[in-house]
Structures are given as C-alpha cells and as structure tokens.
Chains A and B, each alone.
Chain A
C-alpha cells in the first residue's frame, strides 16, 4: 500500500471515466442534474465544475478515511462528507458568481443526492489508495462535465440559436423552443444515447465479421 502506483495505472483510472465508462453515456448515472441544468452551455459548465469539486474532494477524504469508517454506517458517513463539500461549493458559488448561482437554483444543493458521487465512493474510493481515488474522481468528473457540455451546447444551439450567449445564426433563425424546455432534454439525451447504441452495435458487428473472416 505504501508503494506509489505506477503512472500507467493512474492514467488508466483517469482515462476510463472520460470515454469507456463515461458516467452519463455508458453508466447512465447522475441524470437529474444532467437534464435539469443543461438548457445552456454556461450552466452546464458551472454545474460540471461544482460537481467536479465535490467529487474530487469527497473521493480524497473517503479514501483517506477508508480504514476508519465502520462498514455498517459507511453510506451515512459518505453522505455527510458529500453534504459538507456541497455546502462549501454552494456558499462559494453564491459569493463568487451570484448570477449563475441563481440560475442553477436548488440544483447545486441537489449535488448531494447525485448518484454518480455516492456510487464512486462506494465502488472505488472506499477500496483504493488516495492517489488512485483522486485520479478516478478527476476522470469521472471530466467525463460528467464532457457529457453536460455536449447536451448543454446542443440544446442551446438548437433551442436559442446561440452558444455561451453569442448568437450564431443571425436574426432570421427560428429557435426550436422545445429544446430548451424539459421535454427537449429527455428527447435530446435519448438521441445521444441512441447514437452511442449505434456505435456499440457497429463495433460488435464489425468484430463478429472480422472473426468470421479469420475463421474462413
């Protein structure tokens, strides 16, 4: 346990969160904040940053304390650690960027119950060393932020014809209003998941074709 993990392993734990085990597109976790705040790209970035702070902080603390936390009360302990970090993030955002805080509303507080964060504590941080846990948390947070940005940017471009508040198409663009409203969130995420399903199917098909050719 005292030997530091090799850099290759650290990198693998980091990289898997972004693509191969992307929390949103592959594991379908943390969907409530995902859909609720992604009606513009700037909200998506703020939410991604706040979640990253909470995830990295609590992963660090949980893996540091993992041998002291009794098994029976571990979930409640994690929740309280997470709630503490969320309170810090909430107050910081309120003081630093009040406009964004107002826009995100209660969803900053709701990071406490984001299943992604609790899931990482239970599945990874509580059984690995501090360095690995932090690498994993950074990877997962980056993957989550990437997914938020994908959905936020698509919905903003389609729904209000702008990106980060800059108009893209000139004044003749007719905004597709439904995309910034709640149903648009569900449908857009459905379409993105469909795309990922398509990629997976194609990969499987290609692999079977290759093995068939190899056999013949």
Chain B
C-alpha cells in the first residue's frame, strides 16, 4: 500500500511530469517563467488548487457522477473554476503584492489543462481519496519543479547575447525541449518493479 503511494507520487512528479511529458499547462509554463520568485508562488497556488480539486472530484465520483455520467466534464470545470475564484480572493486578501505579480495568470489557472487532466485521469485510474491526494501533490510538485527550472534557465539566458530572430517563444520552446529531454532520463527509474 505504502509503496503504491510512493510510486504514484514519483510517477506523477518525475517520470510522467505533467508539463514536460504530457504537455499540460504550457500557457503558464511559458507565461510566468520569467521570474523565479513568481514562478515558485504560482506553482504553490496550482498545487493548492489541485489538492482541493482532487478532493472534490473524489466526492463527485463517489456520490453524483454514477447517476449522470454526461455531466462529468461540466461538473469538473465548475469545481475548478470555483476553487480558483476562492484562491484568488484569499491571495488578494493575504498578499496584494503577489496578487499583482501573478496578474492575469491567476484566473487563468482555471484554463490550466493540467488541473482538468488531473481530474480526468484520477477518475480513469479509479484512485481512492488518499491516492488522489498523493497524485495531486505529486503532479502539482512536478509542475512547480518544471516551472522553477524553466524560470532559472530563462533568467540566465536573459543575460546572454542571442540573435533577435531567435529571441522569444522559439528560444523558450527549444529550451523546454532540452529540459524535456533531460526528464526522459527518469523513464527507467521504476522499470525493475
């Protein structure tokens, strides 16, 4: 049981990293990774939204969706949107500076595909409440890790001299490709078990 939880965690965080392996949550990944500090805090907010979503989805799956399977997508998206609204209000109250730094990307957590994918794959894999929580923390941690690594790389790149043609999205894409290449090294991590 415990090894199963560890496996879910490591798998979601490193081996099948949501951002670099499944291409989820690319908009904030490229949008907010300009500054290390902001990137880290957005990562934390995303983890929080993921954990709440995972709990709500477990509840929905157990009590409501068996009776109305066609409402699956709509109910998930409503849960995510309300959680994000809640997080937005909390951050605005607790730390107005962070609220301004995150800007448009805070409400955009709603359309972060990583979160909806988390809800769907949790349903598909039929995780229990605890497994779902571990999965959410692992996936959120993986997203944060990718975001922070990317932000660090971009801060370094900013100091170097690159041709104007390459600057911007094209360069970011190629950096992300190399980062993703590095994460593929984790693929053999659990092949023995």
Contacts and interface: CB of A to CB of B under 8 A. Distances in A.
Q: Is the pairing of A and B real?
A: yes
Name B's interface SS.
Answer: helix
A173 interface: no
B165 interface: yes
Given A118-B111, A201-B164, A83 B73 contact: yes
Contacts of A15: none
Contacts of A118: 111
Find the residue from B30, B113, B166 having the highest chain A CB count within 10 A: B113
Given A106-B117, A110-B117, A113-B111, A182 B170 contact: no
Contacts of A106: 117, 120-121, 124
Interface residues of B, number: 43
Interface string B1-38: 00000000000000000001111111100100000000
Interface string B153-193: 00000000000111011111110111011001000000000
Interface residues of A, number: 40
A186 B29 CA distance: 13
Nearest to A201: B165
Contacts of B112: 113
Interface of A: 28, 31-33, 35-36, 75-76, 79-80, 83-84, 86-87, 90-91, 106, 109-110, 112-115, 118, 178, 181-187, 189-191, 193-194, 197-198, 201
Interface of B: 20-27, 30, 70, 72-74, 77-78, 81, 107-108, 110-113, 116-117, 120-121, 124, 164-166, 168-174, 176-178, 180-181, 184
